[in-house]
Amino acid sequence: MTIRVPSAIDEPRYIQVHPSDNVAIVVNTGGLPEGTVFPSGLRLLSHVPQGHKVALTDIEEHEPIVRYGEIIGYATRSLPRGSWVDVSAVRTPMPPELDELPLATRVPEPMPPLEGYTFEGYRNPDGRVGTRNLLGIITSVQCVTGVLEYAVRRIRQELLPKYPNVDDVVAITHAYGCGVAIDAPDAIIPIRTLANLATHPNFGGEIMTVGLGCEKLLPERVTPGVPSNIVSLQDHKGFSGMIEQIMNMAEERLTRLNRRRRVACPASGLVVGLQCGGSDAFSGVTANPAVGYAADLLVRAGATVLFSEVTEVRDAVHLLTPRVANVEVGRKLIREMKWYDEYLRQGGADRSANPSPGNKRGGLVNVVEKSLGSIAKSGTTAIVDVLAPGEKATRSGLIFAATPASDFVCGTLQLAAGMNVHVFTTGRGTPYGLAMAPVVKVSTRTALADHWSDLIDVNAGTIATGERSIEDVGWEIFNFILEVASGKRRTWAERWGLQNDLCLFNPAPLT
């Protein structure tokens, strides 16, 4: 990466990621006006907003536009040197042909182990480690949501104060369970997602299930093997009887959860999910590379790292298939890309639905540019496994967990995979948070970190101005993760109690 930083912080500056790039992004807050001259001698032919691209050379119509050393599109018109390369100037190229991609041809050598790093966590009998101590209550059908939400309010008010070692009670509610094609092939996705959410390490094995009694998704399929954890509302006399049973069952489990204590655990007990939302053109040069560096540190420490978002990987998948650990992992990665291609085709959509209008205002012209920036979160280690949506991680190392790019669906599926700390990069800003695991917010720009100083946890924008390196911010994120996992620090989302609803991914038909 080439970052041009003049001696004075307020001088015009741009970032050229790769020496072969013929475009760069404007760094200055608010953008730069027509006539601005950079230290390199480049002169702007028009106003260019912050994060948007400027042509570094003359680019003729139909010629490639190159960023990250990769073609992100083709010029729709002649672009003289110094032109603003906006969305209208770029024609999106075709995605890589999946059957022609090399598999495991450049597998990275293992990095030296990173030893001696620990966090204070909650050990579970199955060997997994919790980062929070929560009472989880999951529903088997949407019909019971109102009853459960009422019960949760009473549990918080009347019971939780008696059990100070329990952090919170979490209701896992969803719009599923009845009126669905329960035996359709793709129904396995929401069903296994719920079953794996129920076994999340932050619940300490004390999950409760609330069902109605006539739903298609039987509670036993959500929490198999634990019938004593199920409350079926139709079995109880009146609303008061339902609430009394939920409260009694909750208190039994709160009593046991309250005995849990944090103990020193190696960093290998971490399962860290990586995601970006409200991305901008800085995502791929500041926050995501810094998170990628932290991901490498986590893998070296023996942890599990999940990166996701199929539609924000698909156009850069040719950079990932060579670094899978073996051909079998590569085939699984191709399988998930193909499945999602077909899913979009059946829905009458394609990859052009991404990026969002906000992403474009932040300087991203198309899904190719977005994908190239997104995969920077994955760092540089070998990809050791690929999970289908809703599957649970069973090994350590870097894993691709296939999910949609939707923040809430991705977060839900990463929780089902076992994620106990979430790292979320953002350029446009979002107050996103999760109830089941802490969310560390990393900003791509200093302007956002200043604007939302009580929502952003780590500012990676200093990379763009040359004040800090990718490595410096990567270490900051790594250490921040350990402190948050230990409960020594709370993220801003936790302090404010910001918790987005979980959203199941259900590609199966409704009936």
Alpha carbon distance, N-terminus to C-terminus of the chain = 52
What number does CATH give the domain 120-257? 3.40.50
Cα(309)–Cα(470) distance, integer angstroms: 23
φ, ψ at 53 (rounded to 5°) = -95, 145
Of the candidates 124, 164, 170, 133, the one whose C-alpha atom is nearest the C-alpha of residue 151 is 170
Q: Mean per-residue pLDDT for 387-401? A: 98
According to DSSP, the β-strands at 230-232 and 53-55 are unpaired
Q: Could you report the per-residue pLDDT of 226-269, keeping only the tens digit for each?
A: 778 999 999 999 999 999 999 999 999 999 999 999 999 999 99
Both tokens of 439, joined, read 């969310």
CB neighbours (10 Å) of residue 364?
A: 30
Q: Could you report the per-residue pLDDT of 454-511, keeping only the tens digit for each?
A: 999 999 999 999 999 999 999 999 999 999 999 999 999 999 999 999 999 999 988 8
Query: In the chain, where are the structural domains located?
Result: 1-93, 120-257, 272-496
pLDDT of residue 6: 40
Both tokens of 137, joined, read 């209550």
Both tokens of 424, joined, read 């979320």
Of the candidates 123, 419, 120, the one whose C-alpha atom is nearest the C-alpha of residue 260 is 123
pLDDT of residue 136: 98
Q: Mean per-residue pLDDT for 16-28? A: 97
pLDDT of residue 351: 79
Non-local (6+) Cβ contacts of 495 within 8 A are none
pLDDT of residue 448: 96
One of 3.30.1130.10, 3.40.50.150, 3.40.50.300, 2.30.130.110 is the CATH number of 1-93, namely 2.30.130.110
CA 369 to chain centroid: 18
- Radius of gyration of the chain, Cα coordinates, nearest whole angstrom: 24
Q: Mean per-residue pLDDT for 79-91? A: 97
Q: Is the pLDDT of residue 7 over 80?
A: no
Domains 1-93 and 120-257 share a fold: no
Q: Is the pLDDT of residue 9 over 60?
A: no
The average confidence (pLDDT) of the chain is: 95
Reported pTM: 0.96
Length of the chain, please?
Answer: 511
pLDDT of residue 4: 44
